[in-house]
Amino acid sequence: MLLASHLTDEALLEELTPIMDNLMEASRDMDFARHTRDFSPRLKSFFTPSHLIEACTKYQQEKGFFTGKRKLVALFRRPDSIAVIWVQHFTKVAGDYVAEAVFIESNGRWLVDHVMVF
């Protein structure tokens, strides 16, 4: 059972949103150390600097940058994680995109165990 099971959705989002903001900003800057600072050991085990550069170069050329206007769609409480889905927008293209992240607790700290924008 998550230690955060006693937190409201709003309180959880206050903790998780800054982590997602950092991911977005660090991917914009292609800053591997900052982008991965909140990754779980599992995610760190296979995500490399070349993955970040390749993915960021592709989305930035095609779609532009992430806008700061992310809107919550849903927060899912799981036995061992929290999954959050937002609507995300880009600067070069119109439309709604999905930003999702799965967070796990480890030693009183939230870690990103999966993240994707599509």
pLDDT means over runs of 10, the chain (118 residues): 75 96 96 98 96 96 92 95 97 96 95 96
The predicted pLDDT at position 2 comes to 55
CB 117 within 8 A of CB 88: yes
SS3 47: coil
| Confidence (pLDDT) at 1 | 47
Closest CA to 93 of 68, 66, 53: 66
CATH class of 3-117: alpha beta
